[in-house]
């Protein structure tokens, strides 16, 4: 079940409040950080590599669709030609309609398969980003990392760029 934004914010604030009151009670400072997950997902080298992979994988099919669209344009031009007799016009119309249906079907299949593949790729990227945030937090001894639902985060607690650097370094290892 999806959690509403209000519930997420409330939960984050409650955790922050508990952490702050515990820290005050124990006289121990807590270390809090903020990360911009959408930014990380967009800028991570793993995301850029996934985009390039998808582009290469789907380029031949996209080129094929473009070629069929050119064929469709040629048929449309033939239909505009007044020199066609009734029989020729009928044949060209049938070929045009058949090609048009094929192009529409191919475009729809292409979009669906591309979206499915994109979702799979970026799910992996999101998991990589979340793992990197957890590793960063543990390595740098953060008590709390906050993300979605934050209305303001001071640059002092924004660790987004540091996590991005970690992602870039781990991308070079692959």
Tokens read off for 87: 């029989």
Give the pLDDT of residue 105: 95
pLDDT tier, 1 (very low <50, low <70, confident <90, very high otherwise): very low
Domains (ranges, CATH) in the chain? 31-173 (3.30.910.20)
1-to-4, 22, 38 alpha-carbon distances in Å: 10, 31, 21
CA distance 58 to 6: 39
Residues 165/51, Cβ–Cβ less than 8 Å:
no
CA distance 63 to 75: 19
CA distance 67 to 60: 11
Tokens read off for 153: 């985060």
- The mean of the pLDDT values for the chain is 84
Number of alpha carbons in the 13 Å side-chain half-sphere of residue 29: 4
pLDDT single digits (tens) 59-69: 999 999 999 99
pLDDT single digits (tens) 134-162: 999 999 888 888 888 776 777 778 888 89
pLDDT tier, 91 (very low <50, low <70, confident <90, very high otherwise): confident
CA distance 41 to 54: 16
Neighbours of 34 (CB within 10 A): 18
Mean pLDDT of 85-93: 85
pLDDT single digits (tens) 4-41: 666 777 776 666 666 666 555 555 777 888 899 999 99
CA distance 149 to 31: 19
CA distance 69 to 102: 10
CA distance 161 to 164: 5
Give the pLDDT of residue 78: 84
pLDDT tier, 119 (very low <50, low <70, confident <90, very high otherwise): very high
């Amino acid at each position: 079940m999806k959690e509403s934004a209000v519930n997420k914010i409330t939960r984050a604030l409650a955790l922050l409040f508990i952490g702050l009151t515990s820290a005050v009670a124990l006289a121990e400072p807590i270390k809090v950080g903020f990360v911009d997950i959408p930014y990380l997902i967009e800028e991570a080298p793993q995301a850029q590599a996934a985009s390039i992979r998808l582009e290469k994988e789907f380029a031949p099919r996209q080129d094929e669709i473009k070629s069929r669209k050119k064929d469709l344009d040629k048929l449309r031009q033939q239909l505009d030609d007044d020199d066609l007799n009734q029989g020729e016009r009928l044949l060209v119309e049938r070929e045009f309609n058949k090609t048009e249906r094929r192009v529409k079907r191919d475009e729809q299949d292409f979009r669906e398969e591309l979206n499915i593949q994109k979702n799979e790729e970026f799910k992996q990227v999101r998991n990589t980003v979340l793992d990197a945030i957890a590793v960063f937090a543990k390595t740098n001894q953060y008590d709390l990392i906050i993300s979605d639902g934050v209305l303001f985060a001071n640059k002092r607690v924004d660790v987004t760029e540091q996590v991005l650097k970690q992602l870039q370094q781990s991308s070079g290892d692959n």
